[in-house]
Amino acid sequence: MIDIEKKQLDILLDEAIKKAKINNTAQMLSFTEKIDPVDPHVFFEQAKFLEENRLFWGSVPDDFYLVGAGTAISMHADDAYYQNTEKQWKRLLEDAIIYNEYKQPGTGPIAIGAFPFDTTSSQTPLWDNFNGSYFRVPTYLLTKDKEDFYFTVNLHIKESDQKHQLQEKIEKQKNMLISPHIVKHALPVLKNKSESDPTIWKQLVKQATKKINQGQAVKIVLARKMEVDFAEPPAIVSVLKELTSNQTLSFVFAIEKEEDCFVGATPERLVRIDNQQLFSACLAGTAPRGKSKAEDDKIGQALLEDRKNREEHNHVVHMIRGALESYCEAIDIPAEPVVYPLKNLQHLYTPVVAKLKEGFTIFDVLRDLHPTPALGGLPREASLTFIREYESLDRGWYGAPIGWLDAYANGEFAVAIRSAVVQHKKATLFAGCGVVKDSIPEEEYEETMMKFTPMLTALGGVMDEPY
């Protein structure tokens, strides 16, 4: 930290402590500086020595990363998730002392977290550490935006805090986090894996198609889980490195809470707001990758021409357009999808660009967009009713909005598919697929097996190993 920045932080600490004493309550202080390059994975690994929870968000194709260490403040809601989280966030920012001369998206005080998939579902022990909506403002934040790197300190200062002690602690922990280190990369060793009963799940697909053919729904998205055991607790940094290396068109995330970590790599953006410009995506319709370019192109073209997949994709496009019309203007959605290739799968993809109207926020958009037909079904309430009644899985944060918010009305959320909850020597993986009137249970089952592959591979599984 150069002298001028040390002096500025010195002044701000004095101001925050004084304000905490006057108001007789803790005071939020956020201080951002520009720094030399730091590997986000190294920062994440070094953060474990603080013995506090860590956060990771990476938009891999944009070369944009947020890595958090520690907890300055957290926000939790058990009901009215979007409204209550927005109220808490606004209240926190109103009282905060913020020094950030850059004001780039993802710098300054940010909150990283997630909302639940279903606002009415009951909670099972698997999700005890991730119940309701939960967002955390990290004590230390690394922001990497292509070639630019920023370091933010967020402090919840009490009237009893001593400035010089805080300064010494910040300097020591900052040096530990950003100093060059070598991170060993070793995939976990998988001992065993087991999936939910395929026969029972295929019967559920049949039951869903029956409901659809009776006219009670158009599409129902069904999910299931796979459990894996490890020889030793996996190093989350190795999982993240594997995901960022191989899932290069995805959002990679990890949220630690106590002994659990929710981790994944999703290709599906729900919404991004950048200076009132809105970006979303329609991602529905799935096929495997080919073993050669010719085979890959053939499969991709077949996906574009497949009636079932195009119909499924069009449902998502129609719903997203309808949801955005209340909040946006200048909505631009191409008439035809393109093929979006990932390492293990390819999808039908349609980008969405719009301008967010004044007076609306990312919370308004999230509340109306989630769940899209790609995650819940169509009509929304009919499909969710079926899921609540017949699906034995507690989705928790699986398929839910996960992402970040900053102090300047920017933020980005994806849907947490291709994900897992890691708990000591065990992980629970999730995968789903869209069921429509002519769905074939065996084909839907094979699609979920494909969708397990990214996380299973990152967790030490072997892609061509029999299930």
Question: Which sequence positions are flagged as catalytic?
Answer: 219, 268
Could you tell me whether strands 27-35 and 269-274 are parallel, antiparallel, or unpaired per DSSP bridges?
A: unpaired
User: Phi and psi dihedrals of 16, rounded to 5?
Assistant: -65, -45
Q: Which residue has the tokens 């780039």?
A: 104
Element holding 429 (H helix, E strand): strand 426-435
Q: Which residue has the tokens 């631009």?
A: 332
Q: How many CA atoms lie within 13 A of 157 on its CB side?
A: 32
C-alpha span between 14 and 146 (Å, rounded): 34
Residue 220 is given by DSSP the state E
C-alpha span between 375 and 342 (Å, rounded): 19
Is residue 21 within 8 A of residue 163, CB to CB? The reply is: no
C-alpha span between 107 and 404 (Å, rounded): 11
Is residue 81 within 8 A of residue 132, CB to CB? The reply is: yes
C-alpha span between 1 and 29 (Å, rounded): 17
| Secondary structure (DSSP) of 85-109 | HHHHHHHHHHH-EEE-SS--TT-SS
Element holding 33 (H helix, E strand): strand 27-35
Q: Is 35 helix (H, G, I), strand (E, B) or coil?
A: strand
Is residue 363 within 8 A of residue 305, CB to CB? The reply is: no
